[in-house]
Structure 1
Amino acid sequence: MKMSYVAFCVVLVLLLGETQVSTGITCNPLELSACASAITSASAPSAACCSKLKEQRPCLCQYVKDPNLKKLVNSPNARTVASTCGTPFPQC
């Protein structure tokens, strides 16, 4: 079941495309795919995950407001990954 959930999330992310944030960062939820296993299985995040999470931090509130991404991005595991990476989750 977890695998189908991850596959479903990947499909949703692909459908959402990219948007721009005023800071010049390209908000693309696919950039967080390196964190998928850490978020879905509560495993330790990789260095690549932490790097992408820091890069995408300005976009997290936008992802939380998206009904398709909210459950994944706003999950306790996602917040734990952010904390482990030293990237405080923004107050949205």
Structure 2
Amino acid sequence: MMMMKKVCTFALVLVGMLVVEVIPKADSVTCNVVEFNPCLGAITSSSPPSTACCRKIREQRPCLCGYLQNPTLRLYVNSPGARRVVSSCGIPFPSC
């Protein structure tokens, strides 16, 4: 189980680095899924998100629909852990 979390975390970071240029900018925000690195621990475990994590989610909020529309990122952004973290930060999950 722990190995699977590490593989998922690595995959998320790798995919983020690969799609940096694929996601367009939204509202003067550079959409980069790697910005969610402070959230990885909270997404892959039951720990609460940090202040830095919630700040990054707020900053990247204009990008969430783009991430959800990307077939490569959708699985990660729409995962139960990611949904829980977004909710814990008090941010409504987008309905795109």
TM-score (norm: length of structure 1): 0.91
2:2 is equivalent to residue 20 of structure 1: no
2:11 is equivalent to residue 8 of structure 1: yes
Unaligned runs of 5+ in 1: none
Amino acid at match of 1:15: L
For 1:78 and 1:5, locate their aligned partners in 2 and report how far apart those are by CA, in whole Å.
Answer: 12
For 2:68 and 2:46, locate their aligned partners in 1 and report how far apart those are by CA, in whole Å.
Answer: 19
2:67 is equivalent to residue 63 of structure 1: yes
What per-residue deviation string (whole Å, max 9, x for no partner) do you get for residues 32-53 of structure 1?
Answer: 1111111111321000000000
Task: Note the C-alpha offset of 1:9.
Answer: 1.4
For 1:84 and 1:4, locate their aligned partners in 2 and report how far apart those are by CA, in whole Å.
Answer: 24
Identity of aligned residues (%): 49
1:83 is paired with a residue whose SS is helix
The RMSD of aligned alpha carbons is 1.1
For 2:80 and 2:11, locate their aligned partners in 1 and report how far apart those are by CA, in whole Å.
Answer: 19
Amino acid at match of 1:37: G
Task: Note the C-alpha offset of 1:6.
Answer: 1.0
Counting only pairs closer than 5 Å after superposition, residues 70-81 of structure 1 correspond to structure 2 as 70-81=74-85
Amino acid at match of 2:29: I
* Off by >4 Å, runs of 4+ in structure 1: none
